[in-house]
């Protein structure tokens, strides 16, 4: 009969690291980037703690922490993911973008109280629904050069937003 032994401490850490790296790679594939990056942007944009954001999303704070750190690969509840997307969209609205505390709180309350449903008909394909709503707004407030400069400034820290600004700028002549 073979003898099995517990992994030594270093081996367990290596295995944990592999699991986290695999989960982060899956998050990039499924969500476009690690969820920790998306959640951190929301924490900053809405000036809330991770625990407060977890409450708004409808997920426990420990579960959110595990998803952010890559200890878990996915958000299993589609309504939680839908609320996260709602918050990401609200960041782009003029009242929330001002950073006014009342506007931030109102947006958080609306999302917390929402009962989103997710079906195959409610999700945009290739972001075209989002672009149809966001691009005209961005093009009204900035020309191609300004959108490009803003994208360059955001590029390293906020690649998804930078890409959005670049795509909005391509469709407009200055």
Question: Domain spans of the chain?
Answer: 12-113, 129-169
Residue 174: pLDDT band with limits 50, 70, 90: very low
Closest CA to 40 of 73, 76, 72, 65: 65
Classify the phi-psi angles of 135: left when phi > 0, otherwise alpha if psi is within -120 to 50, otherwise beta.
alpha
Tokens linked to 127 = 């972001």
pTM of the model: 0.62
Percent pLDDT > 90 in the chain is 45
Q: What is the pLDDT of residues 15-68, one digit of tens each?
A: 889 999 999 999 988 888 999 999 999 999 999 999 999 999 999 999 999 999
Residue that the structure tokens 């032994």 belong to: 5
């Amino acid at each position: 009969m073979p003898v099995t032994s517990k992994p030594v401490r270093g081996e367990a850490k290596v295995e944990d690291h592999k699991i986290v790296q695999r989960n982060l790679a899956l998050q990039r594939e499924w969500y476009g980037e690690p969820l920790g990056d998306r959640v951190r942007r929301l924490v900053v944009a809405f000036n809330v703690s991770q625990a407060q954001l977890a409450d708004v999303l409808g997920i426990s704070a420990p579960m959110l922490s595990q998803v952010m750190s890559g200890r878990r690969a996915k958000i299993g509840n589609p309504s939680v993911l839908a609320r996260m997307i709602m918050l990401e969209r609200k960041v782009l609205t003029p009242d929330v973008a001002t950073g006014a505390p009342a506007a931030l709180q109102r947006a958080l309350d609306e999302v917390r109280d929402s009962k989103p449903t997710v079906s195959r008909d409610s999700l945009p394909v290739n972001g075209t629904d989002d672009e149809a709503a966001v691009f005209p707004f961005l093009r009204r407030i900035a020309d191609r050069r300004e959108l490009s400069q803003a994208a360059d400034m955001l590029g390293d820290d906020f690649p998804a937003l930078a890409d959005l600004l670049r795509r909005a700028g391509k469709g407009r002549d200055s």
